[in-house]
Amino acid sequence: MKIINKTINGRFVKRLNRFEGIVDINGREALVHIPNTGRCRELLFQGASVLLEVRESKTRKTPYELIMVYKDDKLISIDSQVPNKIVEEAVRGGLIEEIRGYEYVRKEAFYRQSRFDLLLKKTETSEKNESCYIEVKGVTLEIEGTALFPDAPTERGARHMRELAAARREGYRAAVIFLVQMDDIKVFSPNKLMDYNFAEALSFARSEGVEVYSYNCRVSEGEIVINERVKVYMS
């Protein structure tokens, strides 16, 4: 996925709320939109080097979108809208080996009380056994080389896992993809210390036949692309 708008570098000053923060741009403090409601405490601290995308619009409070953060020399994407786009792009391009052979792709597909990110079908009229629900979770938290999700409690995430399990029991193929929004990560694990209920829901879903995958990304200031599969460690 290309970053098509102009980007500028800055230094993070503080977070005002879930959606807004202050960034120093060449000595001038500016309001920025933060497209990630997670805590991101290990990334968004005073002085952190960040990348802003300039999105001019009359309806926005600020033209600045905080899309990436440098952690040491590693660039991490924090935009929560990016993972869905990258996985959809990868599925359409046949880049995910485990999920190929589907011609029809629908975004934001409803199932019971949940809305999953993708519904794949071999044809538009495919039956359940030729259809696949996919939920995508973006991962920005990394501790000692292991990517972890979530970085804040998520009852919605746990519900998604239970609903994927229900879809699988009903005859659909079902999968969750944890997209690690950084490079050089080899292991992914559910963050039990942060959200035990989500970890248990994921484990239950896997036992019901839901497929669990994780991929990392190559991230640069101009592009984010899916890279290689990451080992999933469930303990």
37: Cβ–Cβ under 8 A, 6 or more apart, which residues?
Answer: 18, 19, 80, 152
Q: What is the pLDDT of residue 151?
A: 93
Structure tokens at 120: 């794949």
| pLDDT score of 56 | 86
Residue 174 parent element (H or E):
strand 173-180
pLDDT of 58 strictly over 90:
no
Q: pLDDT > 70: what percent of the chain?
A: 100
* pLDDT tier for residue 148 given thresholds of 50, 70 and 90: very high
Residue 112's pLDDT is what?
86
Q: Is the pLDDT of residue 165 over 90?
A: yes
**pLDDT score recorded for residue 235:** 72
The structure's pTM equals: 0.94
Token digits of residue 161:
């896992």
Where do the H-state alpha helices sit in 25-115?
A: 82-92
Domain 82-232 has what CATH class?
A: alpha beta
The string of pLDDT tens digits covering residues 118-142 is 999 998 888 899 999 999 999 999 9
Contacts 24+ apart (CB under 8 A), 116-122: 116/160, 116/163, 116/164, 117/84, 117/87, 117/88, 118/84, 118/87, 118/88, 118/91, 120/91
The 104-111 sheet, strands edge to edge: 104-111, 114-121, 131-139, 173-180, 211-219, 224-229
Mean per-residue pLDDT, 148-161 = 96
pLDDT digits (tens, 9 = 90+) for 170-200: 999 999 999 999 999 999 999 999 999 999 9
At 64-120, the pLDDT tens digits run 999 999 998 899 999 999 999 999 999 999 999 999 999 999 999 999 888 999 999
Overall average pLDDT of the 14-30 stretch: 97
The pLDDT value given to residue 8: 97
- The Cα–Cα gap between 218 and 49 comes to 18
What is the structure's pLDDT at 17?
95
Predicted local confidence at residue 113, as pLDDT? 82
The token duo for 125 is 């009229």
CATH topology of domain 7-77: OB fold (Dihydrolipoamide Acetyltransferase, E2P) (2.40.50)
Contact between 84 and 117 (Cβ < 8 Å):
yes
pLDDT score of 227: 96
Could you tell me which residues are beta bridge partners of residue 187? Answer: 146, 231
- The CB density around residue 6, as the number of other CB atoms within 10 Å, is 11
C-alpha–C-alpha distance, residues 53 and 211, integer Å: 34
- Predicted confidence at residue 27, as pLDDT, reads 96
**Extents of the domains making up the chain:** 7-77, 82-232
